[in-house]
Structure 1
């Protein structure tokens, strides 16, 4: 399962990514909405989305 983490706070994103990797999940990260839309694809099954992004509302 591939999980897209959309989070602009580096510490929060790193903690989520580390936890999910230890649990056996593949992850990709985006720090803003534009990057998230670029990374979103058919392989992505779950999106963890921060509601307060710098460029668009989550």
Structure 2
């Protein structure tokens, strides 16, 4: 992710000041408890699969 952010800066797609917020969001997401979000995603995926199967 760090290399991607620096690469985007090198390609002039983002400003250098945008790199730190990207890394802060990354660290937050990697270290936060995402159990509730995972359960919600799994439930939504199951419901979508059930509808696709005609159930």
User: Same-fold call, TM > 0.5?
Assistant: no
- In our comparison, the structure showing a higher alpha carbon Rg is 2
Higher strand fraction (1 or 2): 1
Higher helix fraction (1 or 2): 2
**TM-score, with structure 1 as normaliser:** 0.28
